[in-house]
Structure 1
Amino acid sequence: MYSIEDTNHCLIGIPVGGIHMDSILADSLLPMKYVTHSHCFCTEAVPTSKYFWGLYRVHQFSNIEMFYVLQKSDSYHQELIKIEEYLFSSMGLHYKTLDMASEDLGVPAYCKFDVEAWMPGFRTIW
């Protein structure tokens, strides 16, 4: 849960990684593959003058998350990235694949990649 500074609004993440929290999974069940869709919000600083970034705006975006539960395996991670890049390119979208910094990782992740596309037809909430 994230609080938006100087407001009474909060943002909540989708805890896909917590589905099997406190569970012991047999190796025979792995890998378990999930896909989720959610409408997400994040805040970002907006410049109010040349030197001051004092205002925040809320930015809305749609998120499709593919999530595997498995033993650590880079080959499965590469499979996810290839699926995402295929989906974006098959729709003719220009995209970029980002290797996320360790500070942007959730607790269950040892690495994370985001595939992002600019879609100007979607609206930003101010």
Structure 2
Amino acid sequence: MERAPRVRLGTTIEAAVSASRAVTRSNGNLGIVLAIAPLAAVRGDGPPTVAGVKDVLARLNRDDAAATWRAIMAAKPGGLGRASRYDLDGPPPDDLRAAMREAAAHDAIARLWTEAH
């Protein structure tokens, strides 16, 4: 996470989930990673701001979406059910924020992303 302001958000998420999987087979850290990675990626001194998080999320691209999708799949979350759009068994979305908006009604972490924390 210390490199988060200098690398793509998807890279940060994928690296953090990979590091977690190296020491535990639990997916318990996935939600933590997804919750704090946008905060860690805010550039500048001092605590992250809502404006800073919005800037991080506005810079997301397809590569971030693909890396985040791989990270979520690697963590093997259970209980997600099936989704008609943006299902984890399908391809990663072009727009990760659109996928988070779709999931926000039933997922607290996705709701954080849509509300910029």
TM-score, scaled relative to structure 2: 0.29
* Larger strand share, 1 or 2: 1
* Larger helix share, 1 or 2: 2
Higher RCO (C-alpha 8 Å, min separation 6): 2
Bigger radius of gyration: 1
